Amino acid sequence: MKEVIARIEIRSSPEKVWKIITDFQLYKYWNPFIIEIAGSPMMGEKIEIQLRTAAQKTRVYHPVITKVDPPTELRWYGKAILPFILDGEHIFTIQENEQHNTVFTQKEIFKGLGAYLGNTSMFDDIRISFQMMNSSLKSRAESNKR
């Protein structure tokens, strides 16, 4: 198992951050990492995700939404075509801190052979991509945009 995590504090309410991360149709306008999601943030929904990493690698995944808990958590789980190669659970958590700001955490838990055999640069690329997305989310949530 391998985890990649990125956190950011956002001067906005958890509800506003939740609205942004669950409005999949608008990702293409603000998100440099997850450039498109087809589908809805509903439990059991199979979605299609198009990614562009910081290293400009593009990928398409078809995970299933496994948890929708407004306004605190959204999860999806994806499996590789071949069993036990590289499966991943993507988790967004939203928590209010003592200053009434939002702490947004993005995490991916990788399982399978790829989690053990994947090179450091692959996981670094993912971490940087998470940080880019988190920064864009912060900018959007702290502005007057939806």
Give domain limits for the chain.
2-132
* pLDDT above 90: residue 82: no
Q: Which of 34-43, 59-68, 80-89 has the lowest mean pLDDT?
A: 80-89
Nearest to 17 by CA among 106, 120, 119, 123: 106
Measure the CA–CA gap between 123 and 105, rounded to whole angstroms: 17
For residues 64-82, average pLDDT:
93
Q: How far apart are CA 129 and CA 104, in angstroms?
A: 15
CATH, domain range 2-132: 3.30.530.20
Q: Is pTM, for the whole model, over 0.85?
A: yes
Contact between 108 and 125 (Cβ < 8 Å): no
* pLDDT tens readout for residues 101-116: 999 999 999 998 777 7
